[in-house]
């Protein structure tokens, strides 16, 4: 079996510099969340093959990258977890746990079994929670989202912001307004903000670049972009301007469902955007929607396989919620339990990834977002969009606006840890 090391840097900037330099030198690397036992200010580590270690050390020293250290990445056995859960009553489940323990890959049938079986649900949740604790620890990452425009040139069937939805009252925020919000986020202890919008070409390449630069220079915050599809050149320009993360959900990997929901567009074309983003050195988020029309559990299993194959760093899994004024407005919301199970299976199968407990999950019921954190998730997103725009950012109906005090109280109730930049009382 291949052996790996991880590089843990002293800051995110150092980590991003290191990954850029190593990629330029054609060293095969992956970015993974820093394993729990190495908790640092930078939560992303660089994974490399141990064979490349000597060469990498030379490059890192020459570039004067500040490190916390380079450590062997020991294959985890999860022995105590697995043994506690082995049960004669559930031989198939036990068998799959054994495969996970032995670092073996799972088949689509095995993933489908984990996702679909009611009788293993409680055990599945338990093992996912323990793996979360062991792999990424107790800290809950908190990100702040600024939904700065709800104009969209696309027409996704599920989304309330789709071009043809004339019930949506449209708004755009100006650069200064967005930067001021970012300053507030920084003061509240947030380290990464998500700039999200419909696909709005009013924000030209230059406008987005200047927005990124202003936020970087005035706050130093890390920036996740979630602008939908842009050109490869634009992704490159945004990366050079200082954006480090990009969130682009694949929604479903089933080609037919994808093109039915997106006016004939191809899933492969969307996947190509994710490849570009990875090549450009972004930390890439993706994800899917649970409960889309025609979706089966094995479709979801295949989505998870896609995330693994693509090396996606953050996976947002959320239920479908109907949105008024869309072709799917009369559909029922996606199933709650299947959404939770998908998070749990993602933790077991993808292991070292960031998994948010999503806003869509929070919208399904009041307890859902806390529950997501108990079945494998390690991240929450708070909505920082000004009150006066919130109702109009109606991706789906009754979207819950989770704020900082909600997030703090969820984390505290679960006895988990807040990032040390966030004060417990606000
Ligand atoms: N325009 C950008 C970002 C805004 S949409 C983009 O499409 O990437 C952000 C996410 O909202 C989408 O990726 C989709 O997963 C989610 N979304 C949209 N409509 C939804 C619905 N009705 N139910 C659940 N999630 C939805
Ligand atoms: Fe536009 Fe994104 Fe909604 Fe699709 S999901 S209609 S791209 S905002």
Residue 221 has pLDDT above 90, yes or no: yes
Residue 90 — very low, low, confident or very high, per pLDDT cuts 50/70/90? confident
Average pLDDT of span 118-124 = 92
What was the pLDDT predicted at 83? Answer: 67
- Higher pLDDT among residues 93 and 290, named by residue: 290
The partner residues of 47 in beta bridges, in order of sequence, read: 6, 30
d(C-alpha 312, C-alpha 335), whole Å: 24
User: Of 99 and 276, which is predicted with more confidence?
Assistant: 276
Cα(198) to ligand 2 centroid in Å equals 5
Q: Which residue has the tokens 């984990």?
A: 114
Residue 375 Cα to ligand 2 midpoint, Å, equals 28
**Pocket perturbation via mutation, ligand 2, pick of 152, 229, 261, 322 by most ligand atoms within 8 A of CB:** 152
- 415-420 long-range CB contacts below 8 Å, 24 or more apart? 415/138, 416/138, 416/139, 416/140, 416/373, 417/137, 417/138, 417/139, 417/140, 418/139, 418/140, 418/142, 419/139, 419/140, 419/141, 419/142, 419/189, 419/191
The Cα–Cα gap between 94 and 373 comes to 24
d(CA 332, CA 190): 35
Ligand 1 contact, 226 CB (< 6 A)? yes
Ligand at minimal distance from the CA of 315 is: 1
More confident residue, 123 or 78: 123
395 CA from centroid of ligand 1 (Å)? 6
- The residue whose CA has the least distance to atom 8 of ligand 1 is 228
Percent of the chain whose pLDDT exceeds 70: 95
Q: Which two tokens stand for residue 324?
A: 């008024």
Distance 260 CA to ligand 1 centre (A): 16
What band does 151 get if pLDDT is binned at 50, 70 and 90?
very high
For the segment 412-418, the average pLDDT, to the nearest whole number, is: 94
Q: How far is the CA of 159 from the centre of ligand 2 (A)?
A: 6
Nearest ligand to residue 329 Cα: 1
Q: What is the pTM of this model?
A: 0.90
What's residue 39's pLDDT? Answer: 59
On the question of pLDDT at 254 being above 70, the answer is yes
Ligand 1 centre to CA of 159 (Å) is: 6
Q: Which of the residue ranges 65-79, 116-130, 197-211 has the most confident prediction, judged by mean pLDDT?
A: 197-211
Q: 110: CA distance to ligand 2 center in Å?
A: 32
Tokens standing for residue 214: 């202003």
Closest residue by Cα to atom 5, ligand 1, is 198
Between the CA of 101 and the centroid of ligand 1 the distance, in Å, is 35
Give the residue whose CA is nearest to atom 1 of ligand 1: 198
Q: What is the mean pLDDT of residues 299-311?
A: 96
Instruction: Indicate if the pLDDT at residue 181 is higher than 60.
Output: yes
Find the range with the poorest average confidence among 78-82, 202-206, 395-399, 413-417. 78-82
Closest to 220 measured CA to CA, from 190, 196, 175, 178: 190
Q: Is the pLDDT of residue 401 over 90?
A: no
> Which residue among 162, 164, 316 is best mutated to probe the pocket of ligand 2, counting the most ligand atoms within 8 A of its Cβ?
162
Structure tokens at 243: 């954006």
Which pLDDT does position 352 carry in this prediction?
86
pLDDT of 149 > 70? The answer is: yes
pLDDT at 79 (0 to 100) = 67
Residue 5 Cβ contacting ligand 2 at under 6 Å: no
Residue 104 confidence class, pLDDT cut points 50, 70, 90: confident
pLDDT at 34: 78
Indicate if ligand 2 lies below 6 Å from the C-beta of 199: yes
Q: Where does the pLDDT of residue 282 fall: very low under 50, low under 70, confident under 90, or very high at 90 and above? A: very high
Average pLDDT, the chain: 92
pLDDT in tens, 367-392: 999 999 999 999 999 999 999 999 99
Q: What is the pLDDT at residue 426?
A: 45
List the single range of 19-28, 95-104, 286-295, 303-312 with lowest mean pLDDT.
Answer: 95-104
pLDDT for position 20: 87
Q: Which ligand lies nearest the alpha carbon of 303?
A: 1
Question: Atom of ligand 1 at shortest distance to CA of 226?
Answer: 3
Q: Which ligand is nearest to the CA of 154?
A: 2
In a 10 Å sphere around its CB, with 0-12 CB exposed, 13-18 middle and 19+ buried, how is residue 413 labelled?
Answer: exposed
pLDDT at 223 over 90: yes
Per-residue pLDDT at 96 exceeds 80: yes
Residue 232 is predicted with a pLDDT of 98
Pick the more confident residue, 79 or 181.
181
pLDDT of amino acid 193: 97
pLDDT over threshold 80, residue 36: no
Which ligand 2 atom sits closest to the C-alpha of 198? 8
> Residue 227: what pLDDT?
98
CA of 183 to the centre of ligand 2 (A): 27
Greater pLDDT, 296 or 23:
296
User: Which listed ligand is nearest to 265 at the C-alpha?
Assistant: 2
Q: Average pLDDT in the 266-274 region? A: 98
């Amino acid at each position: 079996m291949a052996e790996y090391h991880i590089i843990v840097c002293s800051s995110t900037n150092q980590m991003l510099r290191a990954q850029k330099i190593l990629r330029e030198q054609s060293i095969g690397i992956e970015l993974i969340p820093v394993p729990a036992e190495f908790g640092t200010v930078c939560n992303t580590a660089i994974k490399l093959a141990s064979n490349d270690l000597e060469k990498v050390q030379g490059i890192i020293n020459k570039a004067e990258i500040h490190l916390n250290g380079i450590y062997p990445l020991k294959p985890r056995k999860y022995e105590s977890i697995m043994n506690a859960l082995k049960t004669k009553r559930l031989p198939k489940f036990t068998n799959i746990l054994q495969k996970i323990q032995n670092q073996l890959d799972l088949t689509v049938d095995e993933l489908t079994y984990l996702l679909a079986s009611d009788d293993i649900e409680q055990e599945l949740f338990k093992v996912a929670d323990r793996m979360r604790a062991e792999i990424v620890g107790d800290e809950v990452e908190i990100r702040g989202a600024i939904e700065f425009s709800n104009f969209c040139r696309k027409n996704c069937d599920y989304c309330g912001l789709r071009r043809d939805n004339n019930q949506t009252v449209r708004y755009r925020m100006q650069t200064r307004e967005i930067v001021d919000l970012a300053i507030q986020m920084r003061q509240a202890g947030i380290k990464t903000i998500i700039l999200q919008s419909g696909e709005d070409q009013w924000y030209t390449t230059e406008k987005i670049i200047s927005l990124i630069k202003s936020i970087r220079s005035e706050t130093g915050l890390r920036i996740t972009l979630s602008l939908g599809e842009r050109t490869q050149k634009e992704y490159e320009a945004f990366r050079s301007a200082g954006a480090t993360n990009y969130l682009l959900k694949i929604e479903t990997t089933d080609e037919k469902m994808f093109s039915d929901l997106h006016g004939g567009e191809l899933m492969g074309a969307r996947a190509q955007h994710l490849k570009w983003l990875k090549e450009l050195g972004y930390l890439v988020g993706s994800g899917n929607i649970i409960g889309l029309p025609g979706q089966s559990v094995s479709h979801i299993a295949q989505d998870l396989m896609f995330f693994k194959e693509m090396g996606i760093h953050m996976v947002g899994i959320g239920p479908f919620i109907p949105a008024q004024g869309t072709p799917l407005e009369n559909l029922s919301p996606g199933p709650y339990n299947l959404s939770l199970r998908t998070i749990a299976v993602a933790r077991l199968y993808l292991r070292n990834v960031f998994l948010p407990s999503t806003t869509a999950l929070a919208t399904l019921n009041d307890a859902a977002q806390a529950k997501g954190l108990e079945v494998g998730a390690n991240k929450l997103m708070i909505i920082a969009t000004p009150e006066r725009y919130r109702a109009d950012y109606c991706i789906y109906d009754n979207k819950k606006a989770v704020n900082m005090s909600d997030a703090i109280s969820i984390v505290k109730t679960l006895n988990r840890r807040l990032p040390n930049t966030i004060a417990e009382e606000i």
